[in-house]
């Protein structure tokens, strides 16, 4: 990709319970990672979120998760490789159907929460996820975490003919290996809009971040995430969009 895409986890409300500021953030992003019902979202929320994305010309990505509404998909769960592929196909297909009914389509896949973290820690699980995407539609890119060394993940993607989009985060702290600091630890999520904008620009310029242990960290990324459930990130997203445009990075 020739530019850094700005993405956001979105469509994470459920029934009468509202989460995130979807309408406020949608005009400023390139890609909407839409919850598919297992960790958040429901058929009506999915339909409304797809409609909002289509109105703003935003790419729609499936944001599948472990079947964990209570834990918001942030708890690891034991699945076999086949079960993992089954739940991925179930969720991608559901969102894709809702998109097609409105004249759109799913354009990429980004796993959510514990599934996302687990596949980055376990090469066998990453392979299962990549195989699931390839079996559904090999043309769909898979969004996954950029780390200090993307080579091993890239090799698996190449083996199965799946394009990988490496993702960095504007509002999260990193450890020295380029992994996200656990949300259970203090300082894992940035809440100062100035810090979020500064980190976004550092990533866009290919500069060095400061890891949680004080070491320098360089991430090579195709896309930058801000979280729709972090009010500070939503407040910063317009400024990030303007800054990226000014830098010629998007």
| Best CA proximity match to 144, nearest among 159, 166, 125 | 166
Q: Sign of the C-alpha dihedral, residues 93, 78, 221, 36? A: positive
For residue 228, name the pLDDT band (cuts at 50, 70, 90).
Answer: low
CA distance 215 to 240: 25
For residue 249, name the pLDDT band (cuts at 50, 70, 90).
Answer: very low
Q: What is the average pLDDT score of the chain?
A: 92
Give the mean model confidence (pLDDT) for residues 232-244: 81
pLDDT in tens, 41-90: 999 999 999 999 999 999 999 999 999 999 999 999 999 999 999 999 99
Element (H, E) at 110: none
pLDDT at 184: 86
Q: How far is CA 97 from CA 36, 67, 125, 193, 202, in A?
A: 11, 19, 26, 36, 38
pLDDT in tens, 142-184: 999 999 889 999 999 999 999 999 999 988 999 988 888 988 8
Is residue 245 scored above 90 in pLDDT?
no
pLDDT at 3: 79
Q: Do 220 and 229 touch, CB atoms closer than 8 A?
A: no
Q: How far is CA 132 from CA 36, 91, 129, 246, in A?
A: 16, 11, 5, 38
pLDDT at 196: 87
pLDDT at 250: 45
pLDDT at 21: 86
pLDDT in tens, 97-133: 999 999 999 999 999 999 999 999 999 999 999 999 9
Number of H helices, E strands in the chain: 8, 9
The whole-model pTM stands at: 0.92
Is residue 238 scored above 60 in pLDDT?
yes
pLDDT at 78: 95
pLDDT at 20: 86
| Helix, coil or strand: residue 21 | coil
Is residue 37 scored above 50 in pLDDT?
yes
Q: What percentage of the chain exceeds 90 in pLDDT? A: 70
pLDDT at 118: 96
For residue 229, name the pLDDT band (cuts at 50, 70, 90).
Answer: low
pLDDT at 1: 39
**Which neighbouring-strand residues pair with 218?**
208
Is residue 2 scored above 60 in pLDDT?
no
């Amino acid at each position: 990709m020739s530019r850094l895409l700005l993405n956001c986890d979105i469509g994470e409300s459920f029934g009468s319970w509202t989460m995130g500021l979807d309408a406020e953030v949608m005009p400023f992003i390139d890609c909407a990672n839409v919850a598919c019902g297992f960790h958040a979202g429901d058929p009506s929320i999915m339909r409304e979120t797809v409609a909002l994305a289509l109105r703003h010309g935003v790419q729609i990505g499936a944001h599948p998760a472990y079947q964990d509404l209570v834990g918001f998909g942030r708890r690891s769960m034991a699945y076999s490789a086949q079960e993992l592929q089954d739940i991925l196909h179930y969720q991608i297909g559901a969102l894709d159907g809702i998109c097609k009914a409105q004249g759109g389509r799913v354009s990429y896949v980004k796993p959510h929460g514990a599934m996302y973290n687990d596949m980055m820690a376990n090469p066998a699980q990453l392979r299962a996820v990549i195989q699931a995407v390839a079996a559904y539609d090999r043309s769909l890119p898979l969004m996954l975490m950029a780390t200090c060394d993307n080579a091993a993940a890239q090799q698996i993607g190449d083996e199965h003919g799946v394009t990988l989009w490496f993702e960095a985060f504007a509002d999260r702290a990193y450890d020295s290996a380029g992994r996200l600091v656990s949300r259970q630890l203090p300082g894992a999520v940035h809440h100062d809009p100035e810090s979020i904008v500064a980190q976004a620009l550092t990533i866009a310029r290919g500069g060095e971040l400061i890891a949680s242990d004080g070491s320098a960290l360089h991430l090579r990324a195709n896309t930058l995430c801000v979280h729709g459930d972090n009010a500070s990130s939503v407040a910063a997203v317009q400024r990030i969009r303007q800054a990226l445009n000014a830098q010629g990075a998007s």
